[in-house]
């Protein structure tokens, strides 16, 4: 777990619990189909101002010991141990730049969830339909990496030298992505920093934070790619990732059910002599119900402050422990 490691009232010094929590988080998110072999979760190093922990090239389901975890630098996303020659996570710059830009972020999840991917390609906004997904706010903002393939971010190397494969595989792309978590760069989403008005029950984050220490948005969709969560701790990040995917699944089913039951209306103009409808648009006869802004705010505040995150974490942790696929040697050694 990450509780007790962050904030002004740190109560844990030994990092074993943090390693164990990171390993369990990999297993929990894999069990919920949030992390595939190419996704990841990382956590800030509470003993350092410029490094974070992330599994090496090992897939989430088979991460099992502290030897599978590497320490990376914010500065350039490279392993702290320069002798490391193993394959490492190619999109670690997502994490490095978020930690660098937002001191209040202690955990990052990057997912290619099949439940969320349709919202990353169809441009249908992902909005909260579940109280447990109130952290989405009005809707989850989206970032298109193609906007970063420009001279602005590749002034020194030239965009032609960068692979356009939609992976955040460089420091410049990571920085372009992290900027979008600030309200000034996006017009929708949930103002996560405002939740810092009280102490987080999970991470111990304190309300007295410097301006800009936390991102304005907890979840960012990535066009044609996946989504990323920036949170205050492991348990919070896992909760947000799981409920982002669950909310997406339910919203998609509700949209399909709504259209099949109520049908849709067609608007547009028909030429006097007949022919096709000009400027025709199809609209659902009835809209599905989303959480309003205050409902989202209050629902997430309840979820966070009533111990619901910890309760869910304990259940998910137990399920992972009982699944023979997942092994956590750090936990078994303590």
- Residues labelled catalytic: 91
Smallest CA-to-CA distance from 229 within 216, 212, 217, 246 is with 217
Q: How many residues does the chain have?
A: 334
**SS3 at position 83:** coil
**Cβ atoms of 153 and 168 closer than 8 Å:** no
The contacts found for 161-170 with CB under 8 angstroms, 24 or more apart, are 166/222, 166/223, 166/224, 166/225, 167/90, 167/91, 167/225, 168/91, 168/93, 168/94, 169/90, 169/91, 169/93, 170/93
- Gap between the Cα atoms of 50 and 43, Å rounded: 12
Backbone phi, psi, residue 99, to 5°: -65, -40
Facing residues of 220 across strands?
Answer: 228
Q: Report DSSP letters for 252-266, one per residue.
A: HHHHHHHHHHH-EEE
How far apart CA 89 and CA 94 sit, in angstroms, is 10
Query: Contact, 262 vs 286, CB < 8 A?
Result: yes
DSSP code, position 135: G
Nearest to 8 by CA among 235, 234, 210: 210
């Amino acid at each position: 777990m990450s509780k007790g490691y962050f904030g002004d009232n740190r109560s844990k010094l030994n990092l074993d619990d943090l390693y164990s929590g990171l390993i369990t988080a990999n297993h929990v998110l894999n069990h919920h189909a949030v992390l595939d072999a190419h996704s990841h979760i990382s956590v800030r190093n509470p003993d350092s101002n410029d490094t974070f922990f992330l599994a090496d090239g090992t897939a989430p389901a088979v991460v099992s010991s502290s030897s599978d975890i590497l320490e990376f630098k914010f500065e350039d996303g490279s392993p702290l141990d320069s002798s490391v020659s193993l394959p490492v996570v190619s999109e670690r710059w997502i994490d490095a730049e978020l930690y660098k830009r937002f001191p209040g972020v202690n955990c990052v999840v990057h997912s290619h969830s099949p439940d969320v991917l349709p919202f990353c390609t169809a441009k249908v906004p992902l909005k909260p339909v579940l109280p447990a997904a109130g952290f989405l706010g009005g809707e989850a903002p989206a970032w298109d990496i193609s906007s970063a393939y420009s001279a602005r971010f590749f002034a020194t190397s030239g965009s032609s030298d960068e692979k356009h494969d939609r992976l955040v595989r460089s420091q410049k792309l990571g920085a372009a992505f992290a900027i979008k978590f600030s309200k000034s760069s996006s017009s929708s989403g949930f103002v996560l920093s405002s939740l810092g008005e009280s102490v987080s029950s999970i991470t111990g984050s304190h309300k007295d934070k410097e301006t800009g220490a936390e991102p304005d948005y907890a979840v960012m969709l990535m066009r044609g790619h996946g989504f990323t969560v920036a949170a205050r701790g492991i348990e919070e990040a896992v909760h947000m990732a799981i409920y982002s995917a669950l909310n997406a699944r339910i919203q998609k089913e509700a949209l399909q059910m709504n259209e099949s039951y109520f049908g849709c209306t067609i608007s547009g103009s028909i030429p006097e002599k007949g022919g096709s409808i000009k400027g025709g648009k199809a609209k659902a006869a009835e809209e599905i119900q989303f959480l309003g802004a205050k409902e989202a705010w209050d629902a997430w505040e309840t979820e966070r402050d009533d111990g619901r995150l910890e309760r869910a974490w304990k259940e998910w942790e137990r399920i992972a422990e009982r699944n023979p696929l997942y092994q956590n040697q750090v936990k078994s050694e303590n």
